[in-house]
Amino acid sequence: MMKKANHLAAIVFVAVLILSGFQPVLSDEQAISPSQQTLPADKLAEDKARCKLGCGQSGQPDDVCELVCQCTVDKFKQGLDYQRYMLLLDELDKRKVSIENQIFLTEVGNACNAELDKSIPERITRLPKPIKKN
């Protein structure tokens, strides 16, 4: 159970990492109506790149980072409209994430962790072994 919890924490951390500190600034021609259902592709690409950088710096293999970051962006596109996406970015920036968005990020973490387990089953053997306490 502890291994699963650590994996979930890592996935949620990556989801938070890709968005933390991000302040979206849109010019007039980039402005999107808050009611629009699609998220800005350029911002999602930036999020994915930031995610991959942070994931790689944490020592994860490239294939794991690619899968986790793509999964996270895909889940954001599936589960968020523009207004909620911008709200999530703001909450993460302020480090005050609502219960609703905490639940959403946990669901993203669970889904991406399951996808990672299916796609790269041998990854468990590549992760560092936990230190046993006596």
Is 32 inside a domain boundary? no
Is 31 inside a domain boundary? no
Is 2 inside a domain boundary? no
Is 19 inside a domain boundary? no
Note the pLDDT tens digit of each residue in 57-114.
988 889 888 999 999 999 999 999 999 998 988 898 899 999 999 999 999 988 988 8
Residue with tokens 């009611």: 35
Q: Is 27 helix (H, G, I), strand (E, B) or coil?
A: coil
Is 63 inside a domain boundary? yes
- What pLDDT score was predicted for residue 47? 84
- Please give the tally of structural domains in the chain: 1
What domain range includes position 50? 38-122
Contacts of 116 by beta carbon, 8 Å cutoff, 6+ apart: 7, 11, 64, 67, 68, 71, 123
The pTM score is: 0.64
Is 9 inside a domain boundary? no
- What pLDDT score was predicted for residue 114? 86
Note the pLDDT tens digit of each residue in 3-51.
444 454 455 555 544 444 433 443 444 444 444 568 888 888 988 998 8
Residue with tokens 């994860």: 60
Is 84 inside a domain boundary? yes
Is 129 inside a domain boundary? no
Mean pLDDT of 102-131: 76
